[in-house]
Amino acid sequence: KRMLKSDRQAFGWRVLPLLHLDDPVEFVTSLRKMDMRDDDVIIAAFPKSGTHWMWEVTKMLRKGIASYEDRSKETVMLEFSKRDVIEKEASPRTLNSHLPMCHLPQQVKEKKIKILHLVRNPKDVIVSYYYHLLQMGKFTMSELLELYLTNGMMMAHQFDFLRQMQQYQKDNPEVPVMTIYYEDMKENPVQIAQELAKFLGHDVTEKFCKEVVEACSFSKMKEADPQKKEPKHENTGWKGPPLKVYRKGQIGDWKNHLTVAQNEMIDDFIARESEGIEFQFKYI
Ligand code: A3P
């Protein structure tokens, strides 16, 4: 029963009617049985933590070419894309998901699939999420905060996501997981790209990593955004409006959006929820 509740929570709220899924519970059940390929990589991140960015960086590092592909990460997003599109994707696949680890394919463990885990500080996540969801309907920051603070967001909760990831790593030390903080990527992108290349098993030069970072700069990605040209999402069945992802791309924009009272409320929440969480949020 608990599993079903969590399955339903994984989707839900406003987004559910806009997805191609008739039955989300059946979908997550079948997702767990999905075949993985040995050379798959999965980017696992709570929404708004920089998934689009790291998807491009990872693909370029894997291909050895610093050039942007004219399609969005949604084409290979586990909970969003049509399954046959993911199955037809040429190897090596760089997949991505916002689902917590309990929903990912079981073969991730058996095949020791590399996971790239992204973390972004909750305050910037909240503001970024607010603008993301605002594109699907009108609501206020207070309403979004109420959802965030009462565990009502789609795709589980940020702290559930982190807790599950932490536990998953303890239970499955054989699965390679690299955690990247959005803020570190902003501050030291070339160094992080080098570390990521190493994790992925690629011997790349610093010069190439600089080229990748440059090709994936916020302004270049905003300019190239394939969602501008691919509003119908044929590969995903998305029925909602095209969503803009490239908003500001900065650390600390929450200071421009949260009131003192909201900020204090979030601080209390983070302090409570962070118990036992080893990931350290960065607010630089
Ligand atoms: P903001 O809304 O704060 O601007 P996701 O891809 O997980 O949905 O995350 C989206 C967030 O990542 C957005 O944050 C977006 O602007 C930011 N982002 C996307 N590409 C980026 C890039 N190349 N550099 C920095 N931030 C980027």
**What tens digit of pLDDT does each residue of 174-188 get?**
999 999 999 999 999
What is 107-170 written as a DSSP string? HHHHTT-EEEEEE--HHHHHHHHHHHHHTTS---HHHHHHHHHTT-SSSS-HHHHHHHHHHHHH
Amino acid letter, 140: T
Gap from CA of 215 to ligand 1 centroid (Å): 15
d(CA 277, CA 120): 14
Ligand 1 atom 18 nearest Cα: 249
Q: For ligand 1, is residue 68 a contact (CB within 6 Å)?
A: no
Q: What is the mean pLDDT of each run of 10 residues along the chain (284 residues)?
A: 43 47 72 95 96 97 92 87 89 94 93 98 94 80 82 72 94 98 98 98 97 97 78 62 89 96 95 94 88
Both tokens of 153, joined, read 């967001």
Looking at residue 162, its pLDDT comes to: 94
Altogether, the residues listed in the chain come to a count of 284
238 part of a folded domain = yes
132 part of a folded domain = no
Rounded to the nearest angstrom, the gap between the alpha carbon of residue 51 and the centroid of all alpha carbons in its chain is 4
**What tens digit of pLDDT does each residue of 209-246 get?**
999 999 999 999 999 887 766 555 566 666 667 788 99
- Give the global pTM: 0.91
How many domains are contained in the chain?
1
254 part of a folded domain = no
**Probe residue for ligand 1, chosen from 141, 245, 255, 256 as the CB with the greatest number of ligand atoms within 8 Å:** 245
275 part of a folded domain = no
33 part of a folded domain = yes
252 part of a folded domain = no
197 part of a folded domain = yes
Looking at residue 237, its pLDDT comes to: 65
**Residues 73 and 51 sit within 8 Å (Cβ to Cβ):** yes
d(CA 99, CA 245): 18
Sign of CA dihedral 170, 171, 172, 173: positive
Helices (H) and strands (E) in the chain, counts: 13, 4
Report the nearest atom of ligand 1 relative to the CA of 222.
Answer: 20
User: What does the angle CA 247 – CA 179 – CA 141 come to, to the nearest 5 degrees?
Assistant: 35
114 part of a folded domain = yes
Ligand 1 atom 24 nearest Cα: 218
Q: For ligand 1, is residue 221 a contact (CB within 6 Å)?
A: yes
Gap from CA of 3 to ligand 1 centroid (Å): 31
Q: Which CATH number characterizes residue 187's domain?
A: 3.40.50.300
Which phi and psi angles does 180 have, rounded to 5°? Answer: -120, 130
Could you give the dihedral angle defined by the CA atoms of residues 204, 208, 210 and 213, in that order, rounded to the nearest 10 degrees?
-90
Report the nearest atom of ligand 1 relative to the CA of 45.
Answer: 7
d(CA 259, CA 66): 41
* Domain of 12, in residue numbers: 2-122+154-247
Looking at residue 149, its pLDDT comes to: 83
